[in-house]
Amino acid sequence: MKRIGLVILLTLFSTMGMARSLDVDLSNDSAQVRYVTFAGDTTGLGNSELDLGLLYSSADSIANDSVLAMLGLLVTGDAGTGSPGLSVGVGFKLFAGSVDSDSLAALAISGQLRYHPQAFGRIGLTGQIHYAPDVVTFLDADRFSAVTARVEYEVHPQALVYIGYRKVWVDLSNGPNADLDNGGHVGLQILF
């Protein structure tokens, strides 16, 4: 565990010269904080995003609070010349945490669509999906899924606000499905 923490810290410090963002969103039942580093075209596949985050939830569908840590890598790029303003991303995201008294770890395949055409002005749309089948979901869980959609408004070139919807659920080995988060939220993303 100490080695994983050291790798994360070294990665974050090695990206100090690159663009970064801090993303915070809140609802009545949940709070999520994400730190994203935009690594540029360092992979040879397109722009890369390293994502580190934490989701806390006290949703009604679970008896106790749940905590979910996230670490992901996403490769993004324009969808093509026929789709101005549309970018796509694919990658992997590691999720680990607790739901009630159960623990989970999952390596999800991730996808992202971002639509921000010039005709929309400062408004953009973003959607993400993460899915981990049984073969890459561990501990007390069998499957893991998360879906997020949001409408963004650019207040400033380095700040945007948004409203969104997120559903995060897990199939538990010894019980029914559990929703870690299911509902709307408001958020702020600051680029620095």
* pLDDT recorded at residue 13: 47
* pLDDT of amino acid 60: 58
The structure's pTM equals 0.84
The tokens 């995201």 sit on which residue?
93
Could you give all domains of the chain from N- to C-terminal order, each with its CATH number?
Answer: 2-191 (2.40.128)
pLDDT in tens, 156-187: 989 999 999 999 999 988 877 888 899 999 99
- Pairwise CA distance, residues 136 & 145, whole Å: 12
Residue 7: CB atoms within 10 A of its CB come to 11
pLDDT per residue as tens digits for the range 27-53: 999 999 999 997 765 445 558 889 999
* pLDDT band at residue 1 using 50, 70 and 90 as cut-offs: very low
Q: Look at residue 14 in the predicted model and tell me its pLDDT.
A: 47
Q: What distance in Å separates the CA atoms of residue 36 and residue 49, rounded to the nearest whole number?
A: 6
